[in-house]
Amino acid sequence: MTGAEGPVRWLREALGYEPRDAALFAAALTHRSAAGPNNERLEFLGDAVLNLVVAHHLYGRFPRASEGDLSRLRARVVSREPLAQVAADLKLGDMLQLGSGELRSGGFRRQSILADALEAVCGALFLDGGLPAAQQAITRLLAPRIAALPDPAMLKDAKTLLQEYLQARSLTLPHYHVERIEGEPHAQTFRVSCEVAELGLRVQGGGSSRRRAEQQAAERMLRAIAPEQAADRGP
């Protein structure tokens, strides 16, 4: 969808927001590969606005959480994957203006482009309506994810737990290796192995990023050598 009217209609329907400066949001939804003003500067600003609003929510909701716990909780809300999922749910990709190369390669589905564009929209909201407008829209978008966050005590990821388990028993740390990468650039799946040589164990995990694949492999290794710890983390 092109022109200022598309972004304005999308903002009304997706965010319940009536913009004052439609051109600002048109820029927020324009990737650097396209002609005209793009969203790189707005992305920079929106990243800071998102972090502030989410940090404020978390600070109030988890009064006993440490700084490290709050940082990990925030990462579950404002890192690339969750932001890209929110953007996809809003059909933000349909609004993006991309250069011909990005269009051909499916850039409107790429996580990095979707997450960056959502950050840029948040930056535009801040400039157009001030912090109250940005807070209202961001809260509307992310409150369900914040409400679903786990207790800070459950925040240690599988790789950390596996490392601590092995260190406590004076065993060597696991070795992770990318076995292969499958799929198109905008929808890749990483296959990663996790090996604990001293135990003669090797498992595999998969995910949409190397980090997620390593976490799944570590989770499977934990289930193999320490089922009681894996059980505590749920399915």
Task: Look up the CATH number of the domain holding residue 113.
Answer: 1.10.1520.10
pLDDT at 193: 97
> Do residue 35 and residue 110 come from a single domain?
yes
User: What single-letter DSSP state applies at residue 184?
Assistant: -
Catalytic residue among 47, 116, 128, 219: 47
pLDDT at 228: 61
Q: Which domain holds residue 225?
A: 158-232
pLDDT at 83: 95
> Do residue 35 and residue 114 come from a single domain?
yes
- What sign does the CA torsion over 121, 127, 128, 133 have? positive
Residue ending a domain, among 149, 184, 213, is 149
Each residue's pLDDT expressed in tens, for the chain with a length of 235 residues? 445 677 888 999 888 899 999 999 999 999 999 888 999 999 999 999 999 999 999 999 999 888 888 998 999 999 999 999 999 999 999 999 898 888 788 877 889 999 999 999 999 999 999 999 999 999 999 999 999 998 886 777 889 889 989 999 999 999 999 999 998 887 889 999 999 999 999 999 999 999 999 999 999 999 999 876 554 555 4
Please count the structural domains in the chain.
2
> Do residue 144 and residue 169 come from a single domain?
no
Residue ending a domain, among 126, 149, 172, is 149
> Do residue 34 and residue 121 come from a single domain?
yes
Cα 127 to Cα 115, 160, 214, distances in angstroms: 19, 40, 39
* Whether residue 47 lies in the annotated active site: yes
> Do residue 138 and residue 164 come from a single domain?
no
Catalytic residue among 102, 116, 119, 214: 119
> Do residue 139 and residue 200 come from a single domain?
no
Q: Is the pTM of this model over 0.85?
A: no
Token reading at 28 = 């927020």
* Whether residue 157 lies in the annotated active site: no
> Do residue 143 and residue 173 come from a single domain?
no
Residue 11's closest CA among 31, 27, 25, 32?
25
Residue ending a domain, among 132, 149, 166, is 149
Q: What CA–CA distance (Å, rounded) separates 99 from 107? A: 9
pLDDT at 2: 45
The amino acid at residue 195 is E
> Do residue 9 and residue 125 come from a single domain?
yes
pLDDT at 232: 52
pLDDT at 100: 86
- 99-105: long-range pairs with CB below 8 Å, 24+: 99/31, 99/33, 99/34, 99/35, 101/33, 102/31, 102/33, 102/34, 105/184, 105/185, 105/186
pLDDT at 3: 53
CATH assignment at residue 184: 3.30.160.20
pLDDT at 29: 94
> Do residue 164 and residue 133 come from a single domain?
no
Token reading at 203 = 């498992």
> Do residue 179 and residue 145 come from a single domain?
no
pLDDT at 221: 95
> Do residue 87 and residue 109 come from a single domain?
yes
Token reading at 162 = 């596996």
> Do residue 129 and residue 26 come from a single domain?
yes
Q: What length does the chain have?
A: 235
